[in-house]
Amino acid sequence: MLLSDFDFELPKELIAAYPSEERTSCRMLCVDGTDGHLEDRHFYELPDYLRAGDVLVLNDTKVMRARLYGKKETGGAVEILVERLSGADRALCHVRASKSPKSGSSLILDGGGSLQVLERQGELFLLATTDGSDFYPLMESQGHIPLPPYIDRPDEPADAERYQTVYARDLGAVAAPTAGLHFDEAMLARLKAQGVEIQYVTLHVGAGTFEPVRTRDVTLHHMHQERMVLGEQCAQAVARARAAGRRVVAVGTTAVRCLESAAQHAQQEGLGPISPYAGETGIFIYPGYRYLAVDALITNFHLPQSTLIMLVAAFCGYERTMRAYAHAVAAGYHFFSYGDCMFLTQNPQASADLPPSACADANTGARAHEL
């Protein structure tokens, strides 16, 4: 399965640099999984597409002020992106500099204070506060909201609110679960009143979500690991819904990865259709994968050749996905984190709708990578 199958032309002006004026006012392209029919709607019309008994699954991770700026002892500028905290006074970080810092050296922060480079771990650096103070307050006082690399501007005060879901509560992400940015409190209340059951999972989105696929054959790509928790309450709600023939609606690809990881784990352990799961997941979903737990999906528009568009193609079918993206470009939808969104119901034949390069081998793509 070739990476080039997932390429498309995206005019730069369609990349959203700012969010819509109101959270629910973005456009929403609806894709019917049974016949591929497309409808141009708005997110405030989402209740028209949900029904009583649906289980809506949201990712409640909270974005950290994870970007810090400073200098090396030699004076060279550094940009630090915290990937995850690994103790009260230390964190695993990406460090961007003209030359990689050496173990034992210090990084002087622009806002005062310094960090010590303890060691390198692959592409990441383990950094610690030099005075033993907690890392989190340092991020809160000096850190910046880590806007994605395709938003070509510095973060602004408004981003502290808008690059965060209204239900964010579990601190640990360096990127927002962006499909959730369209919900406001009024929308959530409206859906509850309609009889939609709302459940939460946690997946702390890492910077690896922006890493490009570097293999020509996408099936050789290995996903980064991210921390996730799907608890007992959510697992039971999903199991009840599936047993009763009600839909499970995932808000964003991160919720999809949680649900499918937990379903895979349950299947492997003989625990039923889904069970609680807490740990790391590196699940990689691409065309040919048969979904175990998700019936409908709300998601933003993703980068060309990204693992996220591959996940959508596995859900909707390759041809329908690429046709929907071509429609979105032609209709001027806005893309990526602050852009518009899609509502998709599952295509029952999606696992057989493979990219052209995969058609010669019926087994290609018919799995997800192990947890």
pLDDT digits (tens, 9 = 90+) for 137-148: 999 999 999 999
Strand spans (E) along the chain: 27-31, 38-42, 55-59, 61-63, 67-72, 77-87, 90-97, 106-109, 114-121, 124-129, 170-173, 197-203, 226-230, 248-251, 277-281, 296-300, 341-345
CB 15 within 8 A of CB 304: no
Q: What is the pLDDT of residues 196-205, one digit of tens each?
A: 999 999 999 9
The domains located in the chain, with CATH, are 3-63+163-358 (3.40.1780.10), 67-142 (2.40.10.240)
CB environment 322-352: b (16+ within 10 A), e (fewer): bebbeebbeeebbbbbbbbbbbbbbbeebbe
In tens, the pLDDT along 105-142 reads 999 999 988 999 999 999 899 999 999 999 999 999 99
Model confidence at 19: pLDDT above 80:
yes
- In this prediction the pTM is 0.94
Cβ proximity of 357 and 2 under 8 Å: yes
| Res. 181: pLDDT tops 50 | yes
Q: What is the pLDDT of residue 368?
A: 55
Q: What are the tens digits of pLDDT across the range 6-17?
A: 999 999 999 999
Q: Give the tokens for residue 304.
A: 């060309």
367 confidence band (pLDDT: 50, 70, 90) = very low
Predicted local distance difference test score (pLDDT) of residue 365 = 47
How big is the chain, counted in residues? Answer: 371
pLDDT at position 208: 82
Per-residue pLDDT band for 93 (boundaries 50, 70, 90) equals very high
* Cβ partners under 8 Å of residue 360, min gap 6: none
Whether residue 366 is predicted with pLDDT greater than 50 in this model: the reply is no
pLDDT (mean) for 337-351: 97
The CA–CA distances, whole Å, from 21 to 24, 269, 329, 341 equal: 9, 46, 21, 15
Q: Is the predicted pLDDT of residue 286 greater than 70, yes or no?
A: yes
User: Would the pLDDT of 370 be above 70?
Assistant: no
Given a cut of 60, whether residue 361 has pLDDT beyond it is no
Q: At residue 362, does pLDDT exceed 80?
A: no
Q: What percent of the chain has pLDDT over 70?
A: 96
> What confidence score (pLDDT) does residue 207 get?
84
Per DSSP, the three-state class of 266 is helix
Pairing assessment for the beta strands 55-59 and 197-203 based on DSSP bridges: parallel
C-alpha span between 338 and 332 (Å, rounded): 14
Rounded-to-integer distance, Cα 133 and Cα 159, Å = 27
Structure tokens at 196: 């939609």
pLDDT category at 287 given cuts 50, 70, 90 is very high
Element housing 314 (H / E): helix 307-316
**Would you say 89 and 134 are in contact if contact means Cβ atoms under 8 Å apart?**
yes
Specify the pLDDT at position 100: 92
Using one digit for the tens of pLDDT, what is the confidence trace for 264-276? 999 999 999 999 9
Mean pLDDT of the region 244-266:
98
How would residue 211 be classed by pLDDT, with cut points 50, 70 and 90?
Answer: confident
| Predicted confidence (pLDDT) at residue 279 exceeds the cutoff of 50 | yes
Name the β-bridge partners of 125: 93, 120
Question: What share of the chain in percent tops pLDDT 90?
Answer: 91
Cα 186 from chain centroid (whole Å): 23
DSSP 8-42: ----GGGB-SS--SSGGGSEEEEE-TTT--EEEEE
Per-chain mean pLDDT for the chain: 94
